[in-house]
Copies of this chain bind each other. A is one copy, B any other.
Amino acid sequence: MSDTPSDLPRPDRELTPSLRPAAPGMEEHVDVYHRVLDHGFVAVKDYMGNDLSITQMARMSYGKGTKGVSDDRALLRYLMRHHHTSPFEGCVIKLHVKLPIFVMRQWVRHRTASLNEYSARYSVLPDEFYLPEAEHLAVQSRDNKQGRGETLAPEQADAIRARMTEDADRAFATYHQLLNADADGRPIDEDGVGIARELARLGLPLSTYTQMYWQTNLHNLMHFLRLRADPHAQWEIRVYAEKILEIMAAWVPLTFEAFRDYQSESRSFSRMEMALLKDMLAGRATLADADRYGLSKREAREFAAGLNLPDGA
């Protein structure tokens, strides 16, 4: 995660005094457009709540029952640890995101969010598509059916990028031909007619950029981040998730810390793994017994990796 500010100009916007709770670290992000991928961005357009508004909600629920937990950080950690998720719903973030359509298609699977997308039925899409950098072009992974393996050789990567560019250029040329409008909206053939925008777009590639306003609450945002900042997520959505993690850290620093400690860097052990673990700690078993405890080969390997155990232990 980079911590550099946007290289896009931040619009002048006036500070408005408000009685609402603000988050100082988040104010630094409002309307800042962070570049992601070659033509994409993420920007905070609005937000609601901060670390203290989460604990305020929790304190109301528990009534005098929270007298003991005087410290907000401790209370936030307690909530996160015990999956008391509803107070986190009290914080909301609204983002403006520009992203390739294939990334958008993964993003919308998160249903508990509000979104408004640019409509290619109403308006013409700009000629922008995602072209992977050479270092992100990789072969199909052999052991991960949904992932990437080694990076390509530079010449092969260059050839592929050239081919991708050529195809996309051709698709956008067809798009304009069908619309009978160039990139500035001027007719290509003065006497011709263009077909409906909703049809002209059919041939555009999945790498075409679109944009949206996306809004969700902090509880659902953390769910999004757990899945999309994960190494199993496609790299192109992960870079968005990582930028949003950075924004979250500025917004609700105490929640962010608790999220890392109890969620994103936690690990769950199955019933079988727990049985093995107990016996290993009691000196009654070793990793070699994994099979006997019901772990599959793959589970045993991941168990060992998660605990830094020598594979052949």
Contact = CB atoms under 8 A, between A and B. Distances in A.
B269 A132 contact: no
Interface in A46-75: 46-49, 53, 56-58, 60-66
Which 5 A-B residue pairings sit nearest by Cβ, starting from the closest?
A: A63-B123, A65-B122, A89-B114, A15-B17, A265-B271
Q: State the oligomeric state as a number of copies.
A: 4
Main secondary structure, interface of A, reads mixed
Interface stretch (A1-9, A145-153, A248-256): A145-153
A132 B132 CA distance: 31
Given A86-B116, A137-B199, A198-B146, A121 B234 contact: yes
A150 to B, nearest CB: 9
Interface string A173-209: 0100111000000000000011111110111111110
A249 to B, nearest CB: 15
Given A116-B90, A195-B138, A205-B203, A163 B168 contact: no
B178 A160 contact: yes
Contacts of A121: 145-147, 234
